[in-house]
Structure 1
Amino acid sequence: MQDDDFSLFQAQLKGVKPIKHDRADTGKPKLDKTKLATLRQNATVRDNSIKVDGLSDQFVIDVGTEDPLYWAANGMQESQMRKLKLGQIAFDGSLDLHGMNVEKARDTLWEFLAEACKLEVRCVRVTHGKAARIDGRKPMIKSHVNTWLRQHPQVLGFASCQPKHGGTGAVYIILKRTMMDGRDED
């Protein structure tokens, strides 16, 4: 009886080729070890030039300790910028960046401007300081603030403050407002 089973089994296997390896085919593509190594390497490289917030440090405009800051977006009215520069537009919020490193100042400034925009604030003051450095280099936070504000999508313009509000160690910033129409006529 065993011979009959064996001959039946052999008859069923006629034309079947033996498997050359003992691993199952899961259908997954084989790993490209070179590509995997490249992906792992790229994941460990830190890119400091562009932050998620959109503010770039790739090109920072160096400014001196006493240099006045001034910038207006395209289409910004000269009369409004003149009022801003003269301190004639009341600021509704203030932020002091003294003593912060560049990364902390950047995050704090971004959060402050986001909150001001959310509250539909028209004008704010940011104190960046002058940071006259012993090594003779330009003030770091002031230079970065000057660069970041030009990139921020909600900033229409900025100007160094009047002496009573911080002079060249601070800026008035005029912001876009979208929700409350008709409030921009000061």
Structure 2
Amino acid sequence: MQDDAQKDDESSLFTMEMRGVKRIQNDRADTGKVRTDHKQLANRRQNATQSVANVKVDGLSDQFVIDVGAEDELHWARDGVQEGQMRKLKLGQIGFDGSLDLHGMTVEKARETLWDFIAEANRFEVRCVRVTHGKAARVDGKRPLIKSHVNTWLRQHPQVLGFTSCLPKHGGTGAVYVMLRRTMMEGRDE
């Protein structure tokens, strides 16, 4: 009998301790994770789908731009490119068969134009082109914007084997000679 009295005391003690406590309506734990707003997610997906149609994917990233000075000489070669070829490029001994001037363009327009230009040169199996990026210091005192971006983009482009600043007669540190990969078109009669 004492066990029943002890149970009644524990039950009344428990009831007394639980006074003012509300019963949990949800049996799931709150992990602190923000709940997914399905309406917002649907809107984001729709907006992403619409904007993808307008964005040209070219593989050239602006995530990390290598800042260069107005008078800095640019020089870069992909692994495996012979030093002798790069030396000839720097001395202007490899003739360029196309030229592009990016002066006065926005960064986005310059990127699109450069991508299209290299694609066109690739279609015609051109070995070397010249890209004039300019070297004007910016109004805000920072380094040349287009020159810095071109220096970064050319390193990322799969068709570019190497590049180097031009001779003074071809633009000096305001332009680069760009050596391109050639795939040798089928049926080419040379």
Q: Specify if TM > 0.5.
A: yes
Show the counterpart of 1:105: 110
The AA in structure 2 aligned to 1:136 is G
State the 1:131 CA deviation.
1.6
Tell me, yes or no, if structure 1 residue 166 matches structure 2 residue 137. Answer: no
Q: What's the TM-score, normalizing by structure 1?
A: 0.74
1:152-176 per-residue CA deviation (whole Å, 9 max, x = no partner) reads 0000000000000000000000000
Structure 1: gaps (5+ residues): 1-32, 182-186
Show the counterpart of 1:155: 160
Structure 2: gaps (5+ residues): 1-35
Tell whether the 8 Å contact from 2:92 to 2:167 is kept in structure 1 after alignment.
yes
What does 1:138-153 align with in structure 2 at a 5 Å threshold? 138-153=143-158
Tell me, yes or no, if structure 1 residue 62 matches structure 2 residue 67. Answer: yes
SS in 2 for 1:83: helix
Partners of 2:139 and 2:128 in 1: CA distance: 33
State the 1:144 CA deviation.
0.3
Query: Cα RMSD between the aligned structures?
Result: 2.1
SS in 2 for 1:54: coil
Does 172-181 or 86-95 show the bigger shift? 172-181
Task: Give the total of aligned pairs.
Answer: 147
What does 1:34-113 align with in structure 2 at a 5 Å threshold? 34-44=37-47, 52-113=57-118
More helix by percentage: 2
Residues 38 and 63 of structure 1, relative CA distance in 2, 3 Å threshold: same
State the 1:132 CA deviation.
1.5
Q: What's the TM-score, normalizing by structure 2?
A: 0.72
The AA in structure 2 aligned to 1:34 is D
SS in 2 for 1:124: strand
Partners of 2:57 and 2:131 in 1: CA distance: 22
Partners of 2:107 and 2:46 in 1: CA distance: 24
SS in 2 for 1:172: strand
1:63-90 per-residue CA deviation (whole Å, 9 max, x = no partner) reads 0000001000000000000000111100
